[in-house]
Every structure is written in C-alpha cells, then in structure tokens.
Structure 1
C-alpha cells in the first residue's frame, strides 16, 4: 500500500508536532483509500482530550462526529487519523496497538521530524500489529 500526501500537508503535520513538544497532537485525515492506494486530501486538527496527553491521544469526540458528518454530506471519506509522539519514536506505541482495530484506517505518526504511515491488522485477541505504508510526498 502507498499513501500520497502533499508537501504542504506534511509540513503542517511537522509544524503541529513541533509546536507541542510535550503533548501529543492529533487530528483526522480526509481523502481516498482504495485498491491499496490512499491519498490525503485534507487534514482536520482536533483537540487531544486524553487523560495523559503527554503519552497518548484521544480525538475530541465533537470534532470526530462533526468531521464524519461533514465528510458524508460532501461525499468525502475519513481515511484515518494522525498523532504525534513527543518521545521521538516514529513507530506505533504499545498504547496505539492496544487501541487499534483492523478497519482499514490509516495511522500517521509524526515524530523526530518525520511522518510515518501505518495500517493496523488484528491477529486475534490482544494488541494489533501494524504494517508500514510507503508515503509519497507530492
């Protein structure tokens, strides 16, 4: 699988993470995701409402619902979400694996000046595993 993202959107993600070095930032991805290829068309920033935003993220439910409604009304698709790792690790964390489900959604992780893409796979009971996705910056 491959994911296309514009250089401008990639820069927005890097700047959002750099502006919040002590807490995870997060948001939603709108775009297309089919036939093993995805394309990010826009980013929707969201407030991180997690109890411990320095170590985890939870997208503000109001933003989540409003974004899904708006996307449906416009014939668009929420293809995943993004969040940062202030610890600098670009791979999904143990917390990420515990919360992930195999639903085709893309996870972008911003850390250490990099953006990585992942898709979770359920392997039975217990945490999900993640497969990396190649990112093509356009």
Structure 2
C-alpha cells in the first residue's frame, strides 16, 4: 500500500494554480512518476482537461489521459495517481470520489479550499502523507 507521496514543490504550485484558474469548476490531471515500496514519487503533474467541466465532479479527457499514459510509458514511468480540485469545498473525497477510488487503485491528490491532501483506497479511504521536495 502507498502511504507517502513525494511531489515537487513546483508541481504543488501548478496544482494550486489550476485550482485558482478554473474556479468555480474542478480541474484535474495525472501524476507521473514511479512507485518505490510504499512511496509514490511524482516527477511530473500533468494537467488534463476536465471533460465534465462541473463544480462537483471531474472526468479526465480520455484522449489526453491516453496520451499522458503513453508519454509516461515512453519515459519508463507510470501514472501513479490523479489530482483534482475542490475549489469551493475541503480536500476530502466526495461520495463520487470514494466510489471511483474503489475502482481506480492509485493515489488521489485533492486540492481543496482548505489545502491539499492525498488518499488511497484500501478497504476504504486512507490518508497518505504528502512530502514536498
């Protein structure tokens, strides 16, 4: 199980900028890197168009998501997680997030109106420590 996500400060800033730029709608993207034991090392946060463009949910644009997956694979990396924003609520998984997380076992980083938090699904939602580097 992943219990820590390491992410570059510039990528945290990018995600925060995405939150601000897309308000009041949710923004989303993928986290590209590697998994080493129980740590997900994010080497790049890549914005992906929110195909839903709503205030309460997101859907990664399928073509952009596929292109990101191919880009990661070519570089010997993988998509270790996704991020999305909750511009008008806290950084906790919504009911929709929880239902989707159960079927998408990776790190979910949520940037909310009250900061950023990360989660994984392991028989329920589990918090993951975020370490900036």
TM superposition score normalised by structure 2: 0.91
Structure whose CA Rg is larger:
1
- Give the match for residue 34 of structure 1: 36
**Distance in 2 separating the partners of 1:75 and 1:60:** 23
Secondary structure of the residue aligned to 2:102 is: coil
- Give the match for residue 109 of structure 2: 108
- Give the match for residue 56 of structure 1: 57
For the pair 1:135 / 2:130, whether they are aligned, the reply is: yes
Gaps of 5+ in 1: 124-128
Secondary structure of the residue aligned to 1:63 is: helix
> Aligned-pair distance for 1:75?
1.0
For the pair 1:83 / 2:84, whether they are aligned, the reply is: yes
Gaps of 5+ in 2: none
**Distance in 2 separating the partners of 1:39 and 1:104:** 16
- Give the match for residue 126 of structure 1: none
Runs of 4+ in 1 over 3 A off after TM superposition: none
- Give the match for residue 5 of structure 2: 3
**Number of residue pairs matched by the alignment:** 131
**Distance in 1 separating the partners of 2:55 and 2:15:** 17
Deviations 1:37-72 (A, max 9, x none): 11110011111012x611100000001111111211
> Aligned-pair distance for 1:35?
0.9
- Give the match for residue 74 of structure 2: 73
Secondary structure of the residue aligned to 1:42 is: strand
**Distance in 1 separating the partners of 2:31 and 2:128:** 15
**Distance in 1 separating the partners of 2:114 and 2:12:** 10
> Aligned-pair distance for 1:12?
0.8
